[in-house]
Amino acid sequence: MKRDLTLYSPVNGFVLDRKAFENVRVTPDMDLYTIADLSTVWANAEIYEYEVPYVKLDQTAIMQLSYYPGETFRGKVTYIYPQLDATTRTVKVRLEFPNPEFKFKPDMYADIQLRIDYGTRLVVPQDAVLDSGTEQVVFVARGAGYFEPRRVEVGPRVDDSVAILSGLKAGETIVSSGNFLVDSESRLKTAMGQMAGMEGMKMEGQKEPGKKKTEEQKPKESMPGMKM
């Protein structure tokens, strides 16, 4: 009677889990070994929802790991998950990378870059766009110190730049730091409003000609200074 039986795995790989030991009862539904083929690995990346239209299957992906500084690894997009994460507003994308030297281990963290061809676009610095939440505005220089607020439609953001889909033309001069301009303009309007109020108080305090003073005139309180 043969007491030993040799079983061969249908795949090559690394044993991640083992339940086959001496004197252990084996049942048909029991997984004796868990084997992983790490010659090719999957990496799950998360992209923002506005980036989803630019991600396609078989698109090239570049991966970098802090464990191997200075090295880059090339892979491709193999699956785009159909559901959006309502909390992070991201979509998960599965990437596939060859792993011939078994440098990549399960549960590692990596930085992923997707090569996206946006074509020829008009771009401006992100600081030049004022986003109120409902609209985006860029200030265009009109000469002689005048600036025109221009509503624009923005596209994808790349590094420190943002693409302009409409509202601007190539060659126009814009304010590169719109936040500073709006802050200065707001201060100026506040100061002008206070100056107008002070002028009104002066006119009210003046006596009309031909009339006598019937009661003691109380001194007016001065307005606090406005820093510009």
**Helix extents (H) in the chain:** 178-205
Q: Are residues 90 and 138 in the same domain?
A: no
Q: Tell whether 80 is covered by a domain.
A: yes
At 92, which amino acid appears? K
Q: Are residues 131 and 175 in the same domain?
A: yes
Q: Are residues 90 and 126 in the same domain?
A: no
Q: Tell whether 201 is covered by a domain.
A: no
Residue 60's domain spans which residues?
42-94
CA distance 168 to 170: 7
Summarised one tens digit per residue, pLDDT across range 49-89 is: 888 888 999 999 999 999 899 999 999 999 999 999 999 99
pLDDT given at position 13: 85
Cβ 178 vs Cβ 129: under 8 Å: yes
Q: Is 80 exceeded by the pLDDT of residue 8?
A: yes
Q: Are residues 177 and 129 in the same domain?
A: yes
Say what percent of the chain tops pLDDT 90. 24
Residue 163: which CATH number? 2.40.420.20
Summarised one tens digit per residue, pLDDT across range 108-142 is: 999 998 877 777 888 888 888 888 778 888 888 88
Residue that the structure tokens 């509202």 belong to: 167
* pLDDT-based confidence at residue 223 (cuts at 50, 70, 90): very low
Cβ 169 vs Cβ 160: under 8 Å: no
DSSP assignment of 129-185: -EE-SS-EEEEEEEETTEEEEEEEEEEEEETTEEEEEES--TT--B-S-HHHHHHHH
Domain boundary among 141, 166, 181: 181
Q: Are residues 88 and 126 in the same domain?
A: no
Residue 51: which CATH number? 2.40.30.170
Q: pTM to 2 decimals?
A: 0.55
Domain count within the chain: 2
pLDDT given at position 225: 39
